[in-house]
Structure 1
Amino acid sequence: MSLAPRLDLRQSQSLVMTPQLQQAIKLLALSNLEIEGFIAEEVERNPLLEASQTDEVVKPERIEREEPAAADELLAGTAPAEPIDVDYATESHQQDSISDGGGSFDGALSAGGSSGSGQMPEDGPDLDAFADTSYCLADHLLAQAGTTVSAIDFFIAQHLIDQIDEAGYLTVPLLDIAGRLGISLARVEGVLATIQTFDPTGVGARDLAECLTLQAKEADRYDPCMAKLLANLDLLARGDLGRLKRLCHCDDEDMADMVRELRAYDPKPGCRYGGEPAQAVVPDLFVRATGSGWLVEVNGATLPRVLVNRRYHAELSHGPQDKAAKAWLSDCLASANWLVKALDQRQRTIVKVATEIVKQQQAFFRHGVAHLKPMTLRQIADAIEMHESTVSRVTSNKYLSCARGMFEMKYFFTSAIQAADGGDAVSAQAVKSAIRALIAGEGAKILSDDTLVELLQAKGFDIARRTVAKYREALGIGSSVQRRRQKTLEGA
């Protein structure tokens, strides 16, 4: 055996992800609105790219009702040079919006989406959409401080108002503010006391008890009994009315009156001036029923088309250029061509995945959540011959609008619950829907988790008590003890 150094030549295979391939994979996980922002950045960076809306209409993907297990063949097209796990032999086409297709689409946007049709609703435009939302709680408080406190105290008030959150609560200890400003604690407390007299009543409080106390004082309801009640809100939260009555030295009628008064107060007075307005969810896909099946299409209203400006490229190419300029222009053209193809492939991939989801969950779209089938990412991946990770990226942060409302695409992937009679398994969402319905109709008789198990088994769901508790908590529903206390408080 020789110990001398030598040179060996070996062959090996490895998967190398180029930057363009990494970017193409990242595009799959972005929603249409995120893609719009990405396109805007690319258009600003690359002079050969331009965003445009065209009148070109292409056919969306259709699922035939007569043969629900099969979809129409997609038209052949051109794919990017580097594949991102897409079958090049099949492609789907989509329209700009649901309004481009014939027929009605009742209730498709019931969850707040927009079809992008540009048509005004029958009852006129939504004037709230044009309201000025820039006037926030801080502006409202500063306007009052400017007419109430002195010039010196206004600086302290401004600092305090900056520390008040959107709900109206002061989030920083007064001692920290006093030390930061280099003034006495008493001076800061005096300015805060003035702020606490501002509208809305309860603003500037440091906790819930102080917030409700300020409102009780404003309503002239702050007597010794109310003070005791506000000092023991933890007992009220637990529904321990017997101990509260002993502490407050009051009877059932007085306690019921005080609880009723507290319900009329606002625990978050600053929210009426709220910070950021709620953003409506815009669907990435539309699904609607037709006479022959289901139609799946991309919401093109939120997805601008990207074009390569070849005329501008020709003008630049014929001008005087050095070697570096030619290389830069060539890179811009290659990047622009790649982006156009990658975005086109992204849309086709999304439609392909959504089409398979609709095909496997047709019972849900026809009859509701009780008929939602258990489904995994692997089932969809195997059916369309893609990798499971690709399906996961496609279904992330994307919403589907149908006649039943707006649903995140991940909603359709649920675990299986075995049927009690040995039949087909049902989805976890169907079980959650049954639990919600049972608790909503329980009335005065509160159902325990054990009782829920028995009722669910009677409906054909083979489910354990711990699973019922887990699903109940996931739905934001309290335990039987918590619901019983809530009923007691409501009846007080």
Structure 2
Amino acid sequence: MVASPQLIASIRLLQLARAELHQFVEQELEKNPLLEPASNDGESFGDVLPMSREDQIGARENDIDRPTSAGASERLGDWKSLRNTTNNPPGNRPTLDEFTASTETLHDHVAGQIALTPFTPQERLIAGQLAAHLEDTGYLQAHLSELAERLNIRTADVERVLAALQQFDPPGIFARTLSECLEIQLRQRDRFDPAMAALVANLELLARRDFQALKQLCGVDQEDLLDMLHEIRALDPKPGNRFQSGAPESIIPDVWVTPSPGGGWQIELDPDTLPKLLINQTYLAEVSRLTDQNPKDQAFLNECLQNANWLIRSLDQRAKTILKVTAEIVRQQGAFLEHGVAHLRPLNLRTVAEAINVHESTVSRVTSNKYMLTPRGVFELKYFFTVALVSCQGGEAHSAEAVRHRIKAIIAAESPGDVLSDDDIAVRLKNTGIDVARRTVTKYREAMNIPSSVQRRREKRLWLSANQGMAPGTADQSGA
């Protein structure tokens, strides 16, 4: 099939994110003199759909592949657009601040660890002063002797506290040089032997790739040196960079999903994210009179009018398609909105495409870089599409995201004396009807940045011993 330029542009328009869409519309406004932005008081795209609780219950009771395109189209037609008559006015919408996750900075992370460390009052004061000189990269920029003199204490006391701070997370923090940063990380991995110490002390030779000199200094052969270089590359030279230092960027959702007063859910496209355009009919009439005798000008005017009509129709079609895709997602994932991520169902693009009678690629474009605001937070539309994991008991399949949530909950409920291995977690999941292999548990755990059972056991024992060394009542407060 040969796609026309306008069809290609319509497809591209469908997958644009909010910022890209507004930039595209601004460019069209500059090029086309007939276009003008519509007033906010004008008619919207007809972008509010109520979904009854009966529709949700019916969708949950049937198989996820059950919708037919005809049935879905009839239901969408029955849902009547409520232009500007929403039962949930903008003043009653949840604010984005309710769902904005607070971003932990490096200094917040360090302050929390200082609070949980059994320091003496003097050591806690020193730790606070050292933390104040911590850069965003994780390096310490302070002279210990000057700090000791200012606090009227011994330099040895400052060095002792610094040694404790250098054991904090992330590994390598509070180092004063790159060599010290790498040394701290290697010591925590129990890999700082004499050969590795010689390598870390001669990083300038490594930068020059003088491997022959490094082999002599480290007393190793070429194979051992290559293994050591792989270990060095696996370290983080700037451990503080994983924390965000600036203000987080806000995500503006394209769709709002709110509880409907009559039960079920109400779906509304955010009018602030939808550019609305009109054709300036007055200007068109005036220019048409002036260009009647000039065929070239008349052709240009006709082209502008054609492009303007196309863009207005394309924007309207884009809004309606986003609304239809979102409505089907909400119908399929109603249990998630009511009960949480543990009830997220497996869903694929084909199921939604067949339900609303569009091509699968259209659903893929609609769900790219589009966000939905729900009572449970802001989610990208692609979040609701997850693979299915087979049930042990022949029941309904489980979504991968729900299984990840279950794994996280199991690990969070561990006690210091009962840390579960990946095999144990797989057995527990199987007992609840989720058939998942041990390697799958490992993959999901690592994707969530959860340490292995050995690391978790060590951390829990350290935390327990630290709290047992505090004054009575301190552990309970810190745990709270």
Structure 2 length normalisation: TM-score?
Answer: 0.64
- State the one-letter code of the partner of 1:61: L
**Is residue 2:376 matched to residue 1:404?**
yes
What CA distance in whole angstroms lies between the structure 2 residues aligned with 1:225 and 1:338? 66
Q: Where does residue 26 of structure 2 map in the other structure?
A: 40
Verify the 8 A CA contact 2:255 2:269 in the aligned structure 1.
yes
1:294 corresponds to: 265
In 1, the alpha carbon distance for the partners of 2:324 and 2:41 equals: 23
Separation (CA, whole Å) in 2 of partners of 1:349 and 1:461: 35
Aligned equivalent of 2:221:
none
Q: Which runs of 5+ in 2 are unaligned?
A: 60-71, 102-130, 149-157, 168-174, 198-237, 467-480
The C-alpha deviation readout for 1:104-133, integer Å capped at 9, x for no partner, is 5557763239xxxxxxxxxxxxxxxxxxxx
Contact 2:37 2:276 in 1 (8 A): yes
Q: Is the 8 Å Cα contact of residues 107 and 405 (structure 1) preserved in structure 2?
A: no
Cα distance, 1:214–1:236 mapped onto 2, change above 3 Å: farther
Letter in 2 for 1:301: D
Q: Contact 1:95 / 1:297 at 8 angstroms: preserved in 2?
A: no
Q: Given the alignment, which residue of 445, 452, 455 partners 1:479? A: 452
Match of 2:338 in 1: 366
CA deviations 1:350-408 (Å, max 9, x no partner) are: 11111111111111111111111111101111111111100000111011111111111
Verify the 8 A CA contact 2:186 2:192 in the aligned structure 1.
Answer: no
- Aligned pairs, how many? 352
Distance 1:457 1:340, change over 3 A: same
Measure how far apart 1:219 and its partner are.
4.3
The more displaced of 225-234 and 302-311 is 225-234
| Aligned counterparts of 2:439 and 2:307: Cα–Cα separation in 1 | 54
Letter in structure 2 aligned against 1:374:
P
Q: Name the CA shift for 1:223/1:287 in 2 (closer, same or farther; >3 Å).
A: closer
Q: Distance in 2 between matches of 1:269 and 1:411?
A: 27
Distance 1:391 1:267 in 2: 40
Q: Equivalents in 2 of 1:469, 1:354: separation in Å?
A: 33
For the residue of structure 1 that corresponds to 2:290, the secondary structure is: coil
How far residue 483 of structure 1 moved from its aligned partner, in angstroms, is 2.4
Question: CA 1:35 to 1:218, structure 2 compared with 1: closer, same or farther past 3 Å?
Answer: farther
RMSD: 3.9
1:24 deviates by: 0.5
Residues in 2 aligned to 1:41 and 1:233: alpha-carbon distance in whole angstroms: 53
Q: 1:357 to 1:203 in 2, by over 3 A?
A: closer
Distance 1:308 1:468 in 2: 57
Q: Which aligned pairs between 1:170-181 and structure 2 lie closer than 5 A?
A: none
**Offset at 1:348?**
0.5
Counterparts of 1:333 and 1:295, CA distance in 2:
36
Aligned residue number for residue 133 of structure 2: 201
Structural mapping, 1:262-411, within 5 Å: 268=240, 274=245, 277-290=247-260, 291-320=262-291, 322-411=294-383
Distance 2:192 2:48 in 1: 65
Higher helix share: 2
- Secondary structure, in 3 states, of the residue corresponding to 2:25? helix
Cα 1:241–1:107 shift into 2, 3 Å:
farther
Shift of 1:488: 5.3
Contact 1:202 1:269 in 2 (8 A): no
In the superposition, relative to structure 1, how do residues 447 and 347 fare at CA in structure 2: closer, same or farther (>3 Å)? same
Q: Deviations over 1:66-86 (max 9, x none)?
A: 243779xxxxxxxxxxxxxx9
Quote the Cα distance in structure 1 between the aligned partners of 2:252 and 2:29: 23
* Equivalent position amino acid for 2:296 in 1: A
Q: How does 1:16-35 map to 2 (within 5 A)?
A: 16-35=2-21
State how far apart, in whole Å, the 1-side matches of 2:5 and 2:367 are: 23
Question: Pairwise mapping of residues 144-223 of structure 1 onto structure 2 (< 5 A)?
Answer: 201-203=133-135, 211-212=139-140, 214=142, 219-220=147-148, 221-222=158-159
3-state SS in 2 of match to 1:446:
coil
| Percentage of identical aligned residues | 41
Q: Distance in 1 between matches of 2:161 and 2:327?
A: 65
Aligned partner of 1:56 in structure 2 is 43
Aligned-pair CA distance for 1:202:
5.0
Bigger mean CA deviation after superposition, 394-403 or 229-238: 229-238
Q: Which residue in the other structure is 2:128 paired with?
A: none
| 1:111 aligned onto 2:103 | no
Moved more, 307-316 or 25-34: 25-34
Q: CA deviation at 1:31?
A: 2.5
Structure 2 residue 185 is matched with structure 1 residue 234: yes
Q: State the shift of 1:243 in Å.
A: 9.2
Q: Which amino acid aligns with 1:49?
A: L
- CA distance, structure 1, for counterparts of residue 297 and residue 269 of structure 2: 38
- Cross-structure match for 1:133: none
Separation in structure 2 between the aligned mates of residue 92 and residue 27 of structure 1, nearest angstrom: 26
Change in Cα spacing, 1:96 to 1:452, as seen in structure 2 (3 Å) is farther
Q: Deviations over 1:150-203 (max 9, x none)?
A: xxxxxxxxxxxxxxxxxxxxxxxxxxxxxxxxxxxxxxxxxxxxxxxxx97355
1:6-33 C-alpha deviation (Å, 9 max, x unpaired): xxxxxxxxx1111111111111112233
SS at match of 2:355: helix
Secondary structure of 1:56's aligned partner: coil
Q: Counterpart of 1:378 in 2: which secondary structure?
A: helix
Equivalent in the alignment of 2:235:
none
Q: Residue by residue, what CA displacement relative to the aligned partner does 1:216-274 show, whole Å, maximum 9, x if unpaired?
A: 56644247994998533124543x59999xx9xxxxxxxxxxxxxxxxxx9649989x5
Residue 110 to residue 202, structure 1, CA distance change in 2 (3 Å): closer
Shift of 1:432: 0.6
In structure 2, the residue matched to 1:460 is 433
Distance across 1 between alignment mates of 2:18 and 2:147: 50
The more displaced of 334-343 and 96-105 is 96-105
SS at match of 2:379: strand
- How far does residue 309 in structure 1 lie from its aligned partner after superposition? 0.9
Question: What residue is the counterpart of 2:230 in the other structure?
Answer: none
Task: Measure the CA separation in 2 of the matches of 1:338 and 1:214.
Answer: 63
Q: Give the secondary-structure state (helix, strand or coil) at the position aligned to 2:378.
A: strand
Report if aligned partners of 1:108, 1:404 keep a CA contact under 8 Å in 2. no
